[in-house]
Amino acid sequence: MSFHSQVIYQIYPKSFYSASGGSTGDIRGIIEKVPYVASLGVDWVWFNPFFASPQRDNGYDISDYYAINPDLGTMADVEEMITAFNAEGINVMFDMVLNHVSTEHEWFKRALAGEREYWDYFYIRPAQISEDGSQLPPTNWESKFGGNAWVRFGDYTDEQGTPLYYLALYDRTQADVNWHHEPARRALFDVVNFWYDKGVRGFRFDVINVIGKDTVLRDAPAGVIDKTLYTDTPVVHTFIQDLNRSSFGPREGTVTVGEMSSTSIENCVGYSHPAQEQLDMVFSFHHLKVDYDQGQKWSKVPFRFAELKNILNDWALGMQAGGGWNALFWNNHDQPRALNRFGDPQRYRTESATMLASVIHLLRGTPYVYMGEEIGMIDPVYEGIEDYVDVEAHNAYDMLLQQGVSADRAFEIVASKARDNSRTPMQWTSDPDVGFGTSKPWLAPAVASDAHTGAGISVADEERPGSILSYYRRLIALRKEYEIIAKGSYESFALDHERVFGYERVLGEQRLLVLNNFFGEENTISVPKAYALSKVLISNYEDADEQLAAGVALTATADEFELQLKPYQSLALLIG
């Protein structure tokens, strides 16, 4: 079975389940929940990093790629977990953070200790000297987490006595690795091969399109954050091809996905086209920036529906035309819950959760399900910034205060976009501790009940027919059952409709029309007469067959008929 018909489930280990009863999730907790994951029908499980780490960036600051964070388990636990998933026919995908390492990593510590051969593993550059003689960082690049991207490299200086800095595009404790240095590159390839030999068959490469900084680093124009200086540069493709040839490429049964920051369709076609021998698919994030105010993440505005549907449409058509492949998702460990952003968790939690699921699972690409998404989890309701753990949230809050934003408004903005919103503990029960473990979780749980219906938001509450969970299971099964979903082409449909995102999938004589109402009011859409005798493949409302028949009977003309879509309804019609 190819990845075209497969579905990938993402687990954030720290927040999944604690078998030991501790405050954080652990590997043995994941092993206990293997039967649940298998019940979803997924083919892969992607794990966020659980390597040794000082946890400055929740595990993305790796200090040892060959060791397991002792808070989460042991190497033996990981090996047992891989075997347990494989026994259920599920492959394991690891998160490979190869752009940077923790400053606690051996390479950086040896560099800082004065071993000059390790200086070349990083971007270490002298300060700039301005016209007035003052010292500035090597470039004016901005860190992704706020502030300048350069950090003083101990007390070292160059031959002229100018202070040295190391590049840290993310947190100051995450030093960017110099991929131009072949020994560093080869050492990273060895990491991938080590884990393949342990039974890992999938690899998700974190921010892989920023590994191609130039050998000579230049300032961005004054007052501009110019990400093109280090993003999607031509050498990135060369580096990934080398990674492919030297690790997973010659191996059997691998699936790879690259996380692409601030990327383009053209580049992502290159990264994922089979002939390029780079990756199988790509994550892009443009569709998750439609609730940014003028491109600024730390803002709070309603999402722009027309922009959202146009981005989804453009990427579907563009990647298809170029022979590339999309990784499809709404949620992950870095994003607030999609239900809060694009749905209505207060009045229509079930309907909007299942509608959003339909959009992704019936598109051309490989769907990813982030833990808790399949039970309709929503953002937490915290009282203050101290409830958040993530360094990015605290940096953003401080930045907003410095910009003159009031404390209440700054918290409101951060609460709408914080990465911790998706990192709250998986809700196994609707008890106050959400069935996570016996100790207080490392991060306070989100709301454990539906404010409108009073129903619990948990796996236990969702194990029933007609639930969000059962709907996800059906969607996952349909991708395997109907080749048109896995391999059909994509065509736009009613792109100018102000409330509905529609599209068609086509394979031979078959056509699948997917209609998604993104709003909490009924909306009418015209449908080609060819669908009058179609099969309702799936809908998140139970009376869809009667709804279709009524629309045809009341409004059919020679060419089309009208359907009245209910609030947050999704409806998929199959002909042929």
How many whole angstroms separate alpha carbon 426 and alpha carbon 424? 7
Select which of 43, 61, 171, 206 is catalytic: 206
Please choose, from the candidates 40, 42, 33, the residue with its C-alpha nearest in 3D space to the C-alpha of residue 15.
33
How many whole angstroms separate alpha carbon 181 and alpha carbon 347? 55
How many whole angstroms separate alpha carbon 500 and alpha carbon 80? 46
Q: In the annotation, is 206 catalytic?
A: yes
Residue type, 52: A
Task: Answer yes or no: are the C-beta atoms of 122 and 138 closer than 8 Å.
Answer: no
Tokens matching residue 319: 């990647």
Q: Dump the DSSP string for 468-488.
A: HHHHHHHHHHHHHH-HHHHH-
Write the DSSP symbol of residue 363: S
How many whole angstroms separate alpha carbon 38 and alpha carbon 45? 10
Q: In the annotation, is 219 catalytic?
A: no
Task: Answer yes or no: are the C-beta atoms of 168 and 150 closer than 8 Å.
Answer: yes
> Helices 234-246 and 182-197: crossing angle, nearest 10°?
40
Residue with tokens 């059909």: 488
Q: Compute CA distances 338 → 235, 260, 262, 331, whole Å.
A: 34, 19, 20, 6
Residue type, 349: R
CB burial of residue 318 (10 Å; 0-12, 13-18, 19+): middle
Select which of 26, 57, 61, 259 is catalytic: 259
Residue type, 16: F
Query: Is residue 172 classed as helix, strand or coil in its secondary structure?
Result: coil
Whether the CA torsion 7, 13, 15, 16 is positive or negative: it is positive
- Point out the residues that are catalytic: 206, 259
